[in-house]
Amino acid sequence: MDGATAGTELDVGENLVLSGLAAGGHTVVAKYGGDGKYGPSESALLTFTIAKAALDINVADVTVNYPNKGIVEVKANVDGKYNITVNDKDYEVTVVDGVGTFDVTEELAVGEYDIEWDIAESENYTAASGSALYKVDKTALISLLMVTRPLTLVKLTQSLLQSMKMQKELSLTPSMVQMSIPMEYPKI
């Protein structure tokens, strides 16, 4: 095949499965060495072409709240390393078993940014390109009003506001909450 000898012997009616061939044109010639009954022979040259496989890459839109950074998930039908761009910064992602992820390391301002990929054609695969949206939303300010008996107002303290800037998850502890003095209900 392709000028090389495969060395595979087949009986009449058997098939030869050729696997792992690169995309492009290939040639095959079948040769028979002969025996006591038949002389050596050679088939005509058979030419066939294996088309390049289509590379399919998908990235879902990502939305994060400022100042958090997002995780981008990349799905591809071919495992490998790919360069994906977010806001003109390149990230390398390794796709294994069809999925790969990477962390966006840049803190982006509130707004919308492009996630883009443009993978060049290779020996065996077609080119792939596309885009998705990376959106950074404003962080909602939290104000708590708890109604108890009597009415109590809960205020966020400075330490809670600092926690909001530094952490993705918040947990309230008694030291973070300041309670006002219970108010009297108006008399009617």
> Domains of the chain by range and CATH?
1-51 (no CATH), 57-137 (2.60.40.10), 145-179 (no CATH)
Q: Are 121 and 127 in contact (CB under 8 A)?
A: yes
Q: Are 116 and 131 in contact (CB under 8 A)?
A: yes
Q: Are 135 and 61 in contact (CB under 8 A)?
A: yes
CA angle 72/75/81 to nearest 5° reads: 85
Q: Are 175 and 159 in contact (CB under 8 A)?
A: yes
Q: Indicate the average pLDDT of the chain.
A: 78
Structure tokens at 39: 């002389």
Strand 128-137 to strand 62-65: parallel, antiparallel, or no bridges (unpaired)?
A: parallel
- Find the distance separating the first CA and the last CA of the chain, reported in whole Å: 101
Strands (E), the chain: 24-28, 31-32, 41-42, 46-50, 57-59, 62-65, 71-76, 80-86, 89-95, 99-103, 111-119, 128-137, 145-146, 152-156, 177-179
Taking the whole predicted model, whether its pTM rises above 0.85 is answered as no
* 47-91 pLDDT, tens digit each: 989 898 899 999 999 999 888 889 999 999 999 999 999 999 999
In this structure, which amino acid lies at residue 181?
I
Question: Is the confidence at residue 110, as pLDDT, over 70?
Answer: yes
Q: How confident is the model at residue 114 (pLDDT cuts 50, 70, 90)?
A: very high
